Amino acid sequence: MNSAESRHLLFRSASEVPANVVLRASGAAERLRLGSGQMAALLILLALSPLLLALAWIIRRDGSPATFEHYRVGCGGRLFRCIKFRTMRPDAERALLEVLGRDPVLRAEWRRDQKLKHDPRVTPLGRWLRRSSLDELPQLLNVLRGEMALVGPRPITVPELRRYGPARWKYLSVPPGMTGLWQVSGRNWTTYEERVDLDQLYVKNRSAWLDCQILARTVMVVLNRHGAC
């Protein structure tokens, strides 16, 4: 897909999205919040650029790209490419099909959580990146492009959106975030249903003060590696 196709709407017509979702997603307060987040993301990128370049160089040593992009559902139902440092082996998709095909326990875990706690596709460097949350730093580029916010619901895929049920409209009313209530509330120790509830709770109580609290707690969680896989 080209850049234009990657930004197409998930819904075929605006009538499929409730009016309150559209209004909240395009309001002046949301644009101001988005602009301030973009400025902060730019400053963080500039400050961390030596680290980001060093990590990219190390990851690329196996001959594969340093980053991995996967489609996620954004504000208002727009699809975008969520960027992360690559933490898996180059043949990750084939390896996933193989392990799910031969292990019913892992297959059930994948269907339930859409992830594996002990994922055999993850490289040793990738495990360290995930534990330290450094794999998510390239998402600052998503924030700069207006596709994500520093704080928000966790970015989810199209199949996951269907699992959200009525809660999907709350998810779609705000941009997904690099961090959020899920990341600072146990992260991978929570059930999928609890993640959905935390996303709803965040949207319901969303404020600048709550965002600041979550950002501060995120720093502590990253330093303590609490709930990381």
Q: Does residue 94 fall inside a structural domain?
A: no
Q: Residue 133 is part of which domain span? A: 5-87+122-224
Q: Is residue 104 part of a domain?
A: no
In a domain, 191, yes or no: yes
Q: Residue 40's pLDDT is what? A: 94
Number of domains in the chain: 1
What pLDDT sits at residue 169? 85
Contact in structure between 39 and 135 (CB atoms under 8 Å)? no
Q: What local confidence, expressed as pLDDT, does residue 61 receive?
A: 87
Distance CA 225, CA 26 (A): 35
pTM listed for this prediction: 0.81
> Is residue 37 included in any domain, yes or no?
yes
The pLDDT of residue 156: 92
Between CA 157 and CA 152 the distance in angstroms is: 15
Domain assignment of residue 147, yes or no: yes
**pLDDT block averages, 10 residues each, the chain of length 229:** 46 52 62 88 95 94 89 90 92 82 85 79 89 92 94 91 86 92 79 88 90 91 67
Burial, 209: exposed, middle or buried (Cβ in 10 Å; 0-12, 13-18, 19+)? exposed
Q: Is residue 117 part of a domain?
A: no
